[in-house]
Amino acid sequence: MIIEPKVREFICTTAHPEGCRENVKQQIAYVKAQNIKKGPKKVLVIGASTGYGLASRITAGFGCEAATIGIFFEKPSNGKRTATPGWYNTAAFEEEAHKAGIYAKSINGDAFSCEIKEKTIDLIKKDWGKADMVIYSLAAPRRTDKNGNLWVSSLKTTKEAFTEKSLDLRNNTIVEKTVEPAKPEEIQGTKKVMGGEDWMEWIEALKDADVIEENALTVAYSYIGPELTYPIYFDGTIGQAKRHLENTAKVMREKFPKLQAYVSVNKALVTQASAAIPIVPLYFAILYKVMKEVGNHEGCIEQISRLFKEKLFKESVPTDAEGRIRMDDWELSEEVQRKVVEAWKQVTTENVTEISDIEGYWEDFYQMFGFHLAGVDYTKDVDMEVKIPSID
């Protein structure tokens, strides 16, 4: 059938298998051209199907020729609806990896559960013996913990209500949006879902089962962003969760002294997770414009291949005073932020297409779902039922 995008505010309810394949192929081609050289051999990627996790899997697989096991939570097509983009991305990734003789297997299920942790451990034991790198790139709205408690993540402030300009994604107009303060249980819920507890549980489970090298590298992803978005991000519920994640890296290093545990603070980019944060999409559209003009705009694949090439596998890993790797260095540079603040003050519905890269924002958005990719014939019939080779 012919598949078209169906956009509802910050989500697209369809995905295009051929477009997702093209997207993955373009990322593979980029990574191969980077000549990364040093890297891991057996990499477990938790949250491997879209955004930063997919870019990490592609960088490990095609930049370092590493074997990868990818964990994610995606839906296959049921014959009526398309699969989710992460499903199609993974099918394409595995096919390309197998063609290149690179090991790639995947597990689709709830990474927070004991069942998926056990399944992963069994697979590592059977196929690898031990993993030498674990990338933690989950972005989830809720988590059932190992005791059966359900936690829900919120995107709210932790102090007073916050009102700012925002992009109404339904019609590209500038509106004012108020984000309400969270109740204590919402702060707690966000920390439980997006903090470091589950990352620690993964590492402990892998250690207990003896399926992770003693000096393995583990990296989780965080975000800080500019002062402009502090009330909703850095000082908001999600920021509290990220501080917990960052602290977890320290606790891990103390508990397992030979383990190299890092948090990498990445750049703001349009992904399924970040498009849902209020106020932030307008910041993205302005940031894209400024960074493209300055000449240092990056997408997920550029960020992660730079992380591998210039940070993770150096003699000593460069970090800030808090021990974090700063991949947001270019985003937070004085020049970029000064220009972003100037544009933010000026932006209105009338000038939003000139002042911000709203077109670039939407191109990234559509491409996440496999649409608007050059070289794909969207008028052709495609089969939406696609198999991931390693999943029955």
Place of tokens 């992770």: 212
Rounded to a whole number of angstroms, the minimum distance from the CB of residue 12 to ligand NAD is 13
**Residues forming the site for ligand NAD (CB under 6 A):** 47-53, 71-74, 86, 110-112, 137-140, 221-223, 266, 268-269, 271-274
Q: Which is nearer to ligand NAD, 213 or 373 (CB)?
A: 373
CB 167 within 8 A of CB 358: yes
Residue number closest to ligand NAD, CB atom? 51
Joined tokens for residue 354: 């000139």
Q: Hey, what's the torsion of the CAs at 268, 272, 277, 282, to 10 degrees? A: 60
- State the minimum distance, in angstroms, from the CB of residue 373 to ligand NAD: 17
Q: CB neighbours of 97 closer than 8 A, spacing ≥ 6?
A: 61, 62, 68, 103, 104
CA distance 195 to 214: 24
β-bridge mates for residue 219, sequence order:
135, 262
Distance CA 242, CA 114 (A): 23
| Cβ closest to ligand NAD, residue 51 vs residue 236 | 51
In the complex, minimum distance from the CB of residue 288 to ligand NAD, in angstroms, rounded to a whole number: 12
Nearer to ligand NAD, 103 or 112 (CB): 112
Extract the tokens encoding 311: 């940070």
Closest among 48, 36, 30 to 105, alpha carbons compared: 48
- CA angle (227, 230, 231) in 5-degree steps: 135
Which has the closest alpha carbon to 252: 223, 211, 216? 216
Distance (Å, rounded) from C-alpha 333 to C-alpha 161? 28
- Tell me the closest approach of the beta carbon of residue 357 to ligand NAD, in angstroms: 15
Report in angstroms how near the CB of residue 70 gets to ligand NAD at its nearest.
8
Spell out the residues 6+ positions from residue 315 whose beta carbon is closer than 8 angstroms to its own.
none
- The CA-based angle 20-135-71, given to 5 degrees, is 55
Cβ closest to ligand NAD, residue 213 vs residue 217: 217
Strand order in the sheet with 42-46: 104-108, 67-72, 42-46, 131-136, 212-222, 260-265, 325-326
Distance between CA 266 and CA 327 in Å, rounded?
5
Minimal distance, residue 5 CB to ligand NAD, in Å: 17
Comparison of 132 and 198: residue with beta carbon closer to ligand NAD: 198
Catalytically active residues, by annotation:
233
Tell me how far, at minimum, the Cβ of 14 lies from ligand NAD, in Å. 17
How far is the C-alpha of 85 from the C-alpha of 271, rounded, in Å?
Answer: 11
Closer of 199 and 344 to ligand NAD (Cβ): 199
Q: Which is nearer to ligand NAD, 182 or 213 (CB)?
A: 182
